[in-house]
Each structure stands twice: as structure tokens, then as C-alpha cells.
Amino acid sequence: MPQSKPVHYDDAGPEVRAVYDDIKATRGIHDVNNYWKHIANHSPTLKRTWETAKEVMASGALDSLVKEMIFVAVSASNGCEYGLRCHTDTARKQGMTDEMLGELLAVVGVASQAKILANGYQIPVDKDY
């Protein structure tokens, strides 16, 4: 019972449908994925989350592939399986190779190691920063 139910297009109100339509048009897909269908249980969250994602993930000062790879890096760090599945897939479609994924995850590892050692040795920040 606690697990949320997906909101399908046919059962959705006009606000939710408008967001679904925009997602499908923007991404060139025929149906939205589970993520949007579940957060549609609270339509202000759906609207805000989509508008933020649409603005933030679009190419800008950083191109879209770099953004997808940052998303993958953060999800590998914080353990979000759903985000990893979707955005590893998207990044691969935009050109991320096995070599690039390998290097990306290695950087995440170095950053995590740095946190552990900086904490563990209680290292003060250098004065010239």
C-alpha cells in the first residue's frame, strides 16, 4: 500500500497532462517514464521538477553530455539506482563510451577518498585559499 501508484495519461487531470505533453514534445518520446508518472501524485511537484530539469539539463555554458555525466557521478556517489539507470542510458546515447564512464567513476572515487582522508586526518584548509 505505501508504494505510490503511477498516474497514467488517461487518468490525469489537465495540469498533469500539460506537463506530460511538454516532456514528450521536448524529448521526442511517446510516453513519459515511471519517474514522472509517480511524482504526478503531487502535481505541483511534477510541474516544478520538470520545469527545473528542463532548464537545468539543457545545453548552456556546459553541454548536455557533460551535464548527464555529472548527474551519473552524483548518483554513483549518493547511491540513486533510478537516476543511474536513466542517466547512464542518456549519457551513452549522447556519446559516453566505456572508457569515459570508467574515468568518470574513477574521479568519483578519488573525490570520495579525499573526503575520507581530509576528515580522518582533520586536515585544515591551506591558508592561501
Query: Of residues 43-82, which lie at the interface with a second copy (CB under 8 A)?
Result: 44-45, 48-49, 52-53, 55-57, 60-62, 66-67, 69-82
Q: Up-side HSE of residue 100: CA atoms within 13 Å toward CB?
A: 14
Q: Which is closer to a second copy, CB of 18 or CB of 73? A: 73
Q: Which is closer to a second copy, CB of 25 or CB of 61? A: 61
Would you count residue 30 as binding a second copy (CB under 8 A)?
Answer: no
First to last CA, the chain: 52
Q: Which is closer to a second copy, CB of 2 or CB of 14? A: 2
User: Do residues 86 and 75 lie in contact, with contact meaning Cβ atoms separated by under 8 Å?
Assistant: no
What the block records as the C-alpha cell of 129 is 585559499
Give CA angle at 14 (21, 41), nearest 5°: 90
For a second copy, the binding residues in 77-106 under the rule CB under 8 A are 77-89, 92, 97-106
